[in-house]
């Protein structure tokens, strides 16, 4: 069966510091990968998605970037965090066919102080 893991689960970082959140999928090959952010009390906002190694699409211009160095690895990064980057970040994967339901990781809660 397929599993998805992301880490760290919780992160407290000062303004201006770098960020790296990592996500790994097991049990499938060539998944589509996604990064979503959930602000407090809000719905999910799509940040980035990838349909293959090295292929990154950005949905919202911002202070963040994403990379896919391996087939089942997706990384969310920032060189200098802003207060507004605080939130709950969720990684997800989907098959490239079928209805397209997303399967989410456990989430990473980022607090920027």
Partner 1 sequence: AQKITQTQPGMFVQEKEAVTLDCTYDTSDPSYGLFWYKQPSSGEMIFLIYQGSYDQQNATEGRYSLNFQKARKSANLVISASQLGDSAMYFCAMRESLTGTASKLTFGTGTRLQVTL
Residues that bind partner 1 (CB under 8 A): 32, 34, 41-46, 49, 51, 57, 59, 88, 90, 92, 94, 96-97, 99-107, 109
- Closer by beta carbon to partner 1, 18 or else 111: 111
- Closer by beta carbon to partner 1, 29 or else 99: 99
Closest contact distance (angstroms) between CB of 80 and partner 1 is 26
CA 98/CA 85 separation, integer angstroms = 33
- Closer by beta carbon to partner 1, 16 or else 96: 96
- Closer by beta carbon to partner 1, 43 or else 69: 43
Distances in Å between the Cα of 3 and the Cα atoms of 28, 39, 63, 65, 68 are: 9, 25, 29, 24, 17
Of the candidates 35, 38, 8, 2, the residue with the CA atom closest to the CA atom of residue 21 = 8
CA 73/CA 35 separation, integer angstroms = 12
CA 19/CA 69 separation, integer angstroms = 17
């Amino acid at each position: 069966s397929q599993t998805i893991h992301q880490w760290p689960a919780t992160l407290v970082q000062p303004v201006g510091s770098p960020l790296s959140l990592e996500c790994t999928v097991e049990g499938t090959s060539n998944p589509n990968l996604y990064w979503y952010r959930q602000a407090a009390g809000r719905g999910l906002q799509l940040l980035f998605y990838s349909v293959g190694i090295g292929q990154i699409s950005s949905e919202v211009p911002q202070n963040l970037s994403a990379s896919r160095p391996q087939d089942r690895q997706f990384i969310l990064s920032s060189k200098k965090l802003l207060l507004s980057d605080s939130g709950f970040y969720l990684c997800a994967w989907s098959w490239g066919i079928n209805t397209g339901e997303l399967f989410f990781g456990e989430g990473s809660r980022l607090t920027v102080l």
